Chain A
Amino acid sequence: MELRVENLTVARGGVPVLEGLDFTLSPGQVLILRGPNGSGKTTLLRTLAGLQPPLVGSVSTDPEQITYGAHADGLKATLSVEENLHFWASVHGVADIAPAVDGFNLRGLLERPSANLSAGQKRRLGLARLLVTGRPIWLLDEPTVSLDVASVKLFADAVQRHVAAGGSALIATHIDLGLKADTFDVGPYKADAHRPRDDGSRDSYSGFDEAFQ
Protein backbone atom coordinates (compact mmCIF):
# COMPACT_ATOMS: atom_id res chain seq x y z
CA MET A 1 0.00 0.00 0.00
CA GLU A 2 1.48 3.27 -1.15
CA LEU A 3 1.13 6.48 0.82
CA ARG A 4 1.06 9.47 -1.50
CA VAL A 5 0.88 13.02 -0.23
CA GLU A 6 0.02 15.80 -2.65
CA ASN A 7 0.23 19.52 -2.00
CA LEU A 8 -0.55 18.94 1.66
CA THR A 9 -0.82 21.79 4.14
CA VAL A 10 -1.05 20.82 7.78
CA ALA A 11 -2.17 23.15 10.53
CA ARG A 12 -1.99 23.24 14.28
CA GLY A 13 -4.78 25.19 15.96
CA GLY A 14 -5.85 26.56 12.55
CA VAL A 15 -2.40 28.04 11.82
CA PRO A 16 -0.57 26.44 8.88
CA VAL A 17 2.70 24.82 9.98
CA LEU A 18 3.93 23.03 6.87
CA GLU A 19 2.66 23.65 3.35
CA GLY A 20 3.03 22.29 -0.15
CA LEU A 21 4.23 18.88 1.03
CA ASP A 22 4.69 16.35 -1.77
CA PHE A 23 6.13 12.92 -1.20
CA THR A 24 5.47 9.25 -1.65
CA LEU A 25 6.08 6.37 0.71
CA SER A 26 6.14 3.11 -1.23
CA PRO A 27 6.00 -0.43 0.15
CA GLY A 28 9.41 -1.52 1.32
CA GLN A 29 10.58 2.02 1.97
CA VAL A 30 11.73 3.69 5.16
CA LEU A 31 11.46 7.46 5.12
CA ILE A 32 13.13 9.44 7.88
CA LEU A 33 11.44 12.71 8.71
CA ARG A 34 13.91 15.39 9.71
CA GLY A 35 13.39 18.86 11.03
CA PRO A 36 14.14 20.93 14.12
CA ASN A 37 11.92 20.85 17.23
CA GLY A 38 8.61 22.56 16.65
CA SER A 39 8.85 22.33 12.87
CA GLY A 40 5.58 20.41 12.56
CA LYS A 41 6.68 16.78 12.29
CA THR A 42 4.14 15.60 14.86
CA THR A 43 1.38 17.67 13.24
CA LEU A 44 2.23 16.07 9.88
CA LEU A 45 2.17 12.56 11.34
CA ARG A 46 -1.14 13.15 13.13
CA THR A 47 -2.65 14.46 9.91
CA LEU A 48 -1.44 11.43 7.96
CA ALA A 49 -2.85 9.15 10.66
CA GLY A 50 -6.26 10.74 10.20
CA LEU A 51 -6.41 12.30 13.66
CA GLN A 52 -6.83 15.76 12.21
CA PRO A 53 -7.94 16.95 8.78
CA PRO A 54 -5.46 18.56 6.38
CA LEU A 55 -5.99 22.25 5.65
CA VAL A 56 -5.28 21.76 1.95
CA GLY A 57 -4.29 18.81 -0.19
CA SER A 58 -4.78 15.10 0.04
CA VAL A 59 -3.43 11.92 1.55
CA SER A 60 -3.98 8.95 -0.73
CA THR A 61 -4.23 6.20 1.86
CA ASP A 62 -7.10 4.98 3.95
CA PRO A 63 -6.25 5.61 7.64
CA GLU A 64 -7.17 1.96 8.24
CA GLN A 65 -3.84 1.02 6.64
CA ILE A 66 -1.87 3.16 9.05
CA THR A 67 -0.75 2.70 12.61
CA TYR A 68 0.51 5.67 14.54
CA GLY A 69 3.16 5.50 17.24
CA ALA A 70 2.86 8.66 19.28
CA HIS A 71 4.98 10.23 22.01
CA ALA A 72 2.70 8.63 24.59
CA ASP A 73 2.64 4.85 24.59
CA GLY A 74 -1.02 4.42 25.53
CA LEU A 75 -0.27 1.93 28.30
CA LYS A 76 -2.48 1.24 31.28
CA ALA A 77 -0.45 1.31 34.47
CA THR A 78 -2.53 -1.28 36.32
CA LEU A 79 -2.56 -3.81 33.48
CA SER A 80 0.33 -6.21 33.00
CA VAL A 81 2.54 -6.11 29.93
CA GLU A 82 0.73 -9.12 28.53
CA GLU A 83 -2.73 -7.63 29.15
CA ASN A 84 -1.73 -4.37 27.49
CA LEU A 85 -0.46 -6.17 24.40
CA HIS A 86 -3.40 -8.56 24.29
CA PHE A 87 -5.80 -5.65 24.37
CA TRP A 88 -4.26 -3.91 21.35
CA ALA A 89 -3.96 -7.24 19.54
CA SER A 90 -7.62 -8.09 19.97
CA VAL A 91 -8.72 -4.55 19.05
CA HIS A 92 -6.90 -5.07 15.76
CA GLY A 93 -8.11 -8.63 15.36
CA VAL A 94 -4.66 -10.20 15.76
CA ALA A 95 -4.48 -13.35 17.86
CA ASP A 96 -0.76 -13.92 18.29
CA ILE A 97 1.35 -11.59 20.41
CA ALA A 98 4.43 -13.83 20.47
CA PRO A 99 6.31 -12.10 17.62
CA ALA A 100 5.83 -8.73 19.31
CA VAL A 101 6.95 -10.08 22.67
CA ASP A 102 10.08 -11.68 21.23
CA GLY A 103 10.81 -8.83 18.85
CA PHE A 104 11.15 -6.37 21.70
CA ASN A 105 12.57 -8.72 24.30
CA LEU A 106 9.57 -8.52 26.65
CA ARG A 107 9.38 -12.23 27.48
CA GLY A 108 10.67 -11.77 31.02
CA LEU A 109 8.35 -8.85 31.75
CA LEU A 110 5.00 -10.32 30.70
CA GLU A 111 3.51 -10.58 34.21
CA ARG A 112 4.80 -7.21 35.38
CA PRO A 113 2.25 -4.37 35.78
CA SER A 114 3.31 -1.69 33.35
CA ALA A 115 3.37 0.84 36.21
CA ASN A 116 6.57 -0.91 37.39
CA LEU A 117 8.39 -0.72 34.07
CA SER A 118 11.26 1.64 33.43
CA ALA A 119 10.86 4.37 30.82
CA GLY A 120 12.77 2.36 28.25
CA GLN A 121 10.78 -0.79 28.95
CA LYS A 122 7.54 1.14 28.56
CA ARG A 123 8.75 2.44 25.24
CA ARG A 124 9.62 -1.08 24.11
CA LEU A 125 6.11 -2.20 25.03
CA GLY A 126 4.69 0.80 23.18
CA LEU A 127 6.69 -0.16 20.08
CA ALA A 128 5.69 -3.82 20.41
CA ARG A 129 2.11 -2.60 19.94
CA LEU A 130 3.04 -1.74 16.33
CA LEU A 131 3.62 -5.40 15.59
CA VAL A 132 0.21 -6.50 16.91
CA THR A 133 -1.71 -4.00 14.78
CA GLY A 134 -0.88 -5.90 11.60
CA ARG A 135 -1.01 -2.70 9.57
CA PRO A 136 1.36 -2.03 6.66
CA ILE A 137 2.22 1.65 7.18
CA TRP A 138 3.93 2.74 10.38
CA LEU A 139 4.05 6.41 11.33
CA LEU A 140 6.41 6.85 14.23
CA ASP A 141 7.05 9.94 16.26
CA GLU A 142 10.52 9.86 17.83
CA PRO A 143 10.32 6.13 18.59
CA THR A 144 13.76 5.86 20.16
CA VAL A 145 13.25 8.29 23.03
CA SER A 146 14.58 6.72 26.27
CA LEU A 147 15.78 3.54 24.50
CA ASP A 148 19.31 2.24 25.13
CA VAL A 149 21.63 1.22 22.30
CA ALA A 150 20.58 -2.45 22.39
CA SER A 151 16.89 -1.54 22.28
CA VAL A 152 17.44 0.87 19.39
CA LYS A 153 18.99 -2.10 17.59
CA LEU A 154 15.91 -4.22 18.40
CA PHE A 155 13.72 -1.47 17.04
CA ALA A 156 15.80 -1.08 13.87
CA ASP A 157 15.60 -4.85 13.32
CA ALA A 158 11.81 -4.76 13.75
CA VAL A 159 11.54 -1.97 11.17
CA GLN A 160 13.85 -3.92 8.85
CA ARG A 161 11.68 -7.06 9.09
CA HIS A 162 8.51 -5.01 8.63
CA VAL A 163 9.87 -3.34 5.51
CA ALA A 164 11.20 -6.63 4.13
CA ALA A 165 7.67 -8.03 4.46
CA GLY A 166 6.32 -5.27 2.25
CA GLY A 167 5.46 -2.70 4.88
CA SER A 168 6.69 0.85 5.05
CA ALA A 169 7.62 3.31 7.77
CA LEU A 170 7.74 7.06 8.15
CA ILE A 171 9.88 7.87 11.17
CA ALA A 172 10.45 11.26 12.75
CA THR A 173 13.75 10.99 14.58
CA HIS A 174 16.87 12.94 15.45
CA ILE A 175 19.28 10.02 15.69
CA ASP A 176 20.80 7.68 13.14
CA LEU A 177 18.99 4.33 13.26
CA GLY A 178 21.48 2.55 11.04
CA LEU A 179 18.73 1.70 8.54
CA LYS A 180 18.82 1.89 4.79
CA ALA A 181 16.46 4.82 4.49
CA ASP A 182 15.58 7.92 2.53
CA THR A 183 15.41 11.26 4.25
CA PHE A 184 12.71 13.87 3.96
CA ASP A 185 13.51 17.26 5.46
CA VAL A 186 10.47 19.33 6.36
CA GLY A 187 12.52 22.55 6.67
CA PRO A 188 11.85 23.95 3.16
CA TYR A 189 8.10 23.45 3.57
CA LYS A 190 7.75 25.66 6.61
CA ALA A 191 4.60 27.76 6.28
CA ASP A 192 5.12 31.50 6.13
CA ALA A 193 2.15 33.32 7.58
CA HIS A 194 3.07 36.60 5.89
CA ARG A 195 3.73 35.41 2.37
CA PRO A 196 1.07 36.66 -0.07
CA ARG A 197 -1.08 33.81 -1.36
CA ASP A 198 -1.32 34.01 -5.12
CA ASP A 199 -1.12 30.54 -6.55
CA GLY A 200 -4.85 29.83 -6.36
CA SER A 201 -4.38 26.35 -4.95
CA ARG A 202 -4.61 27.64 -1.40
CA ASP A 203 -7.83 29.55 -1.83
CA SER A 204 -9.56 27.91 1.07
CA TYR A 205 -7.69 29.94 3.62
CA SER A 206 -6.30 32.86 1.63
CA GLY A 207 -9.56 34.74 2.17
CA PHE A 208 -9.23 34.26 5.87
CA ASP A 209 -5.66 35.49 5.79
CA GLU A 210 -6.39 38.64 3.82
CA ALA A 211 -9.00 39.69 6.29
CA PHE A 212 -6.25 40.09 8.85
CA GLN A 213 -3.65 41.86 6.73
Chain B
Amino acid sequence: MIALLVRDLRLAMRAGGGFGLGLAFFLIVSTLVPFGVGPEAAILSRIAPGILWVGALLACLLSLDRIFQLDFEDGSLDLLATAPIPMEGIVGVKALAHWLVTGLPLTLAAPVLGTLMNLESPGHFWIFITLLIGTPALSMIGAFGAALTVGLKRGGLLLSLLVLPLYIPTLIFGAEAATRGTAGLSASTPLLMMAGITAGSIALLPFAAAAALRVNLR
Protein backbone atom coordinates (compact mmCIF):
# COMPACT_ATOMS: atom_id res chain seq x y z
CA MET B 1 0.00 0.00 0.00
CA ILE B 2 2.92 2.31 0.69
CA ALA B 3 4.20 1.47 -2.80
CA LEU B 4 0.87 2.63 -4.23
CA LEU B 5 1.00 5.87 -2.22
CA VAL B 6 4.56 6.56 -3.35
CA ARG B 7 3.62 5.86 -6.96
CA ASP B 8 0.60 8.16 -6.84
CA LEU B 9 2.58 10.99 -5.27
CA ARG B 10 5.37 10.52 -7.82
CA LEU B 11 2.86 10.57 -10.68
CA ALA B 12 1.32 13.75 -9.30
CA MET B 13 4.71 15.48 -9.23
CA ARG B 14 5.67 14.47 -12.76
CA ALA B 15 4.65 16.47 -15.81
CA GLY B 16 0.90 16.54 -16.32
CA GLY B 17 0.33 14.99 -12.93
CA GLY B 18 -2.12 17.59 -11.65
CA PHE B 19 -0.15 18.78 -8.64
CA GLY B 20 -0.68 22.52 -8.35
CA LEU B 21 -3.85 22.49 -10.43
CA GLY B 22 -6.09 22.95 -7.40
CA LEU B 23 -3.63 25.33 -5.80
CA ALA B 24 -3.51 27.55 -8.90
CA PHE B 25 -7.30 27.59 -9.08
CA PHE B 26 -7.49 28.53 -5.39
CA LEU B 27 -5.01 31.34 -5.94
CA ILE B 28 -7.06 32.66 -8.88
CA VAL B 29 -10.33 32.62 -6.90
CA SER B 30 -8.91 34.41 -3.89
CA THR B 31 -7.18 37.00 -6.07
CA LEU B 32 -10.26 37.71 -8.16
CA VAL B 33 -12.81 38.02 -5.36
CA PRO B 34 -11.42 41.33 -4.00
CA PHE B 35 -11.60 42.75 -7.54
CA GLY B 36 -15.19 41.59 -7.93
CA VAL B 37 -16.45 42.62 -4.50
CA GLY B 38 -14.59 45.90 -4.30
CA PRO B 39 -11.88 47.17 -2.00
CA GLU B 40 -13.96 47.77 1.15
CA ALA B 41 -11.94 46.12 3.87
CA ALA B 42 -14.88 45.58 6.23
CA ILE B 43 -16.93 43.61 3.68
CA LEU B 44 -13.92 41.60 2.53
CA SER B 45 -12.86 40.54 5.98
CA ARG B 46 -16.44 39.53 6.78
CA ILE B 47 -16.78 37.24 3.72
CA ALA B 48 -13.15 36.03 3.70
CA PRO B 49 -13.64 32.73 5.62
CA GLY B 50 -16.62 31.73 3.47
CA ILE B 51 -14.89 32.61 0.21
CA LEU B 52 -11.75 30.72 1.21
CA TRP B 53 -13.84 27.66 2.04
CA VAL B 54 -15.80 27.77 -1.22
CA GLY B 55 -12.58 28.28 -3.16
CA ALA B 56 -10.89 25.33 -1.46
CA LEU B 57 -13.91 23.12 -2.06
CA LEU B 58 -14.08 23.95 -5.78
CA ALA B 59 -10.32 23.51 -6.15
CA CYS B 60 -10.68 20.08 -4.58
CA LEU B 61 -13.52 19.20 -6.94
CA LEU B 62 -11.40 20.09 -9.96
CA SER B 63 -9.03 17.15 -9.63
CA LEU B 64 -11.43 14.45 -8.44
CA ASP B 65 -11.93 12.68 -11.75
CA ARG B 66 -8.23 11.89 -11.90
CA ILE B 67 -8.37 9.69 -8.79
CA PHE B 68 -9.44 6.50 -10.57
CA GLN B 69 -10.05 7.47 -14.20
CA LEU B 70 -6.42 7.43 -15.35
CA ASP B 71 -5.77 4.05 -13.73
CA PHE B 72 -8.96 2.72 -15.26
CA GLU B 73 -8.03 3.86 -18.75
CA ASP B 74 -4.53 2.36 -18.83
CA GLY B 75 -5.62 -0.93 -17.26
CA SER B 76 -3.81 -0.42 -13.93
CA LEU B 77 -7.05 -0.58 -11.99
CA ASP B 78 -7.81 -4.10 -13.26
CA LEU B 79 -4.34 -5.20 -12.27
CA LEU B 80 -4.56 -3.47 -8.89
CA ALA B 81 -7.88 -5.22 -8.29
CA THR B 82 -6.18 -8.58 -8.76
CA ALA B 83 -3.16 -7.54 -6.65
CA PRO B 84 -2.91 -8.57 -2.99
CA ILE B 85 -4.17 -5.18 -1.74
CA PRO B 86 -7.82 -5.10 -0.64
CA MET B 87 -9.96 -2.78 -2.75
CA GLU B 88 -10.82 -0.76 0.36
CA GLY B 89 -7.10 -0.19 0.89
CA ILE B 90 -6.70 1.00 -2.70
CA VAL B 91 -9.52 3.52 -2.18
CA GLY B 92 -8.04 4.71 1.11
CA VAL B 93 -4.58 5.17 -0.35
CA LYS B 94 -5.92 6.97 -3.41
CA ALA B 95 -7.95 9.34 -1.23
CA LEU B 96 -4.92 9.96 1.00
CA ALA B 97 -2.75 10.68 -2.05
CA HIS B 98 -5.41 13.08 -3.34
CA TRP B 99 -5.47 14.86 0.01
CA LEU B 100 -1.68 15.14 0.17
CA VAL B 101 -1.58 16.57 -3.35
CA THR B 102 -4.65 18.84 -3.12
CA GLY B 103 -6.11 19.28 0.38
CA LEU B 104 -2.87 19.78 2.30
CA PRO B 105 -1.40 22.43 -0.05
CA LEU B 106 -4.76 24.27 0.02
CA THR B 107 -4.77 24.20 3.81
CA LEU B 108 -1.25 25.58 3.96
CA ALA B 109 -1.93 28.27 1.36
CA ALA B 110 -5.28 29.46 2.74
CA PRO B 111 -3.97 31.59 5.65
CA VAL B 112 -1.57 33.36 3.28
CA LEU B 113 -4.24 33.97 0.66
CA GLY B 114 -6.57 35.15 3.43
CA THR B 115 -4.35 38.22 3.72
CA LEU B 116 -5.50 39.21 0.22
CA MET B 117 -9.02 39.42 1.64
CA ASN B 118 -8.09 41.31 4.78
CA LEU B 119 -8.71 38.31 7.02
CA GLU B 120 -8.61 39.44 10.69
CA SER B 121 -5.84 38.17 12.94
CA PRO B 122 -7.27 35.04 14.66
CA GLY B 123 -8.86 34.13 11.32
CA HIS B 124 -5.62 32.79 9.84
CA PHE B 125 -5.47 30.18 12.54
CA TRP B 126 -9.15 29.27 12.20
CA ILE B 127 -9.14 28.93 8.42
CA PHE B 128 -6.07 26.70 8.73
CA ILE B 129 -7.54 24.47 11.42
CA THR B 130 -10.97 24.12 9.77
CA LEU B 131 -9.46 23.26 6.39
CA LEU B 132 -7.07 20.83 8.04
CA ILE B 133 -9.97 18.95 9.60
CA GLY B 134 -12.41 19.40 6.70
CA THR B 135 -10.38 18.70 3.55
CA PRO B 136 -9.82 14.96 4.30
CA ALA B 137 -13.60 14.56 4.13
CA LEU B 138 -13.61 16.35 0.77
CA SER B 139 -11.01 13.93 -0.62
CA MET B 140 -12.75 10.85 0.78
CA ILE B 141 -16.23 11.84 -0.44
CA GLY B 142 -14.66 12.77 -3.77
CA ALA B 143 -12.97 9.37 -4.04
CA PHE B 144 -16.37 7.76 -3.49
CA GLY B 145 -17.89 9.89 -6.27
CA ALA B 146 -14.96 9.09 -8.55
CA ALA B 147 -15.42 5.38 -7.88
CA LEU B 148 -19.09 5.63 -8.82
CA THR B 149 -18.37 7.32 -12.15
CA VAL B 150 -15.11 5.58 -13.07
CA GLY B 151 -16.32 3.71 -16.13
CA LEU B 152 -17.98 6.68 -17.76
CA LYS B 153 -16.38 8.62 -20.56
CA ARG B 154 -16.39 12.33 -19.68
CA GLY B 155 -17.97 11.53 -16.33
CA GLY B 156 -16.68 14.78 -14.82
CA LEU B 157 -20.01 16.58 -14.97
CA LEU B 158 -21.90 13.71 -13.39
CA LEU B 159 -19.17 13.42 -10.77
CA SER B 160 -19.54 17.09 -9.83
CA LEU B 161 -23.33 16.80 -9.63
CA LEU B 162 -23.06 13.72 -7.44
CA VAL B 163 -20.40 15.06 -5.13
CA LEU B 164 -21.46 18.69 -4.63
CA PRO B 165 -24.54 17.91 -2.49
CA LEU B 166 -22.41 15.61 -0.36
CA TYR B 167 -19.91 18.43 0.14
CA ILE B 168 -22.49 20.88 1.47
CA PRO B 169 -22.54 19.75 5.15
CA THR B 170 -18.75 19.97 5.32
CA LEU B 171 -18.88 23.43 3.74
CA ILE B 172 -21.59 24.69 6.09
CA PHE B 173 -19.87 23.54 9.27
CA GLY B 174 -16.39 24.42 8.06
CA ALA B 175 -17.25 27.94 6.97
CA GLU B 176 -19.36 28.47 10.09
CA ALA B 177 -16.54 27.36 12.39
CA ALA B 178 -14.07 29.59 10.56
CA THR B 179 -16.42 32.59 10.65
CA ARG B 180 -17.25 32.17 14.34
CA GLY B 181 -13.62 31.61 15.26
CA THR B 182 -12.56 34.72 13.34
CA ALA B 183 -15.26 36.78 15.11
CA GLY B 184 -14.00 35.57 18.48
CA LEU B 185 -17.03 33.41 19.26
CA SER B 186 -17.00 29.79 20.37
CA ALA B 187 -16.53 27.56 17.30
CA SER B 188 -16.43 24.20 19.01
CA THR B 189 -19.90 22.97 17.93
CA PRO B 190 -19.47 23.37 14.13
CA LEU B 191 -15.87 22.22 14.45
CA LEU B 192 -16.94 19.01 16.18
CA MET B 193 -19.74 18.43 13.69
CA MET B 194 -17.27 18.77 10.83
CA ALA B 195 -14.75 16.48 12.55
CA GLY B 196 -17.60 13.99 12.88
CA ILE B 197 -18.31 14.15 9.14
CA THR B 198 -14.63 13.64 8.39
CA ALA B 199 -14.28 10.70 10.76
CA GLY B 200 -17.50 9.14 9.48
CA SER B 201 -16.56 9.41 5.82
CA ILE B 202 -13.09 8.00 6.43
CA ALA B 203 -14.61 5.08 8.33
CA LEU B 204 -17.48 4.21 5.96
CA LEU B 205 -16.81 5.49 2.45
CA PRO B 206 -13.83 3.24 1.57
CA PHE B 207 -16.22 0.28 1.75
CA ALA B 208 -18.86 2.01 -0.37
CA ALA B 209 -16.27 3.18 -2.90
CA ALA B 210 -14.70 -0.29 -3.10
CA ALA B 211 -18.11 -1.83 -3.80
CA ALA B 212 -18.74 0.76 -6.53
CA LEU B 213 -15.35 0.03 -8.09
CA ARG B 214 -15.99 -3.73 -8.13
CA VAL B 215 -19.28 -3.16 -9.95
CA ASN B 216 -17.69 -0.76 -12.41
CA LEU B 217 -14.84 -3.15 -13.26
CA ARG B 218 -17.17 -5.96 -14.37
Contacts and interface: CB of A to CB of B under 8 A. Distances in A.
Interface of A: 46, 49-53, 63-64, 66-68, 70-79, 83, 86-88, 90-93, 129, 133
A187 B134 CA distance: 56
Contacts of B15: 78
Nearest to A13: B218
Contacts of A52: 217-218
A53 B17 CA distance: 34
A129 B79 contact: yes
Contacts of A46: 78
A91 B80 contact: yes
Query: Which of B15, B17, B76, B80 is the most central at the interface, judged by chain A CB atoms within 10 Å of its CB?
Result: B76
Contacts, number: 72
A33 to B, nearest CB: 18
B11 A91 contact: no
Query: Which of B7, B80, B82 is the most central at the interface, judged by chain A CB atoms within 10 Å of its CB?
Result: B82
Interface of B: 2-4, 7, 10-11, 14-17, 71, 74-76, 78-85, 217-218
A70 B78 contact: yes
A70 B75 CA distance: 8
Contacts of A66: 82
B218 to A, nearest CB: 4
A70 B79 contact: yes
A93 B78 contact: no
A77 B7 CA distance: 12
A34 to B, nearest CB: 23
B74 A72 contact: yes
A199 to B, nearest CB: 26
A53 B211 CA distance: 13
Contact of B79 (A63, A74, A78): A74
Contact of B84 (A71, A75, A92): A92
A212 to B, nearest CB: 21
A160 to B, nearest CB: 23
21 contacts: A50-B81, A51-B78, A51-B82, A51-B217, A63-B82, A72-B74, A72-B75, A72-B78, A74-B75, A74-B80, A78-B11, A78-B16, A83-B10, A87-B3, A87-B4, A87-B7, A91-B83, A91-B84, A91-B85, A93-B84, A129-B79
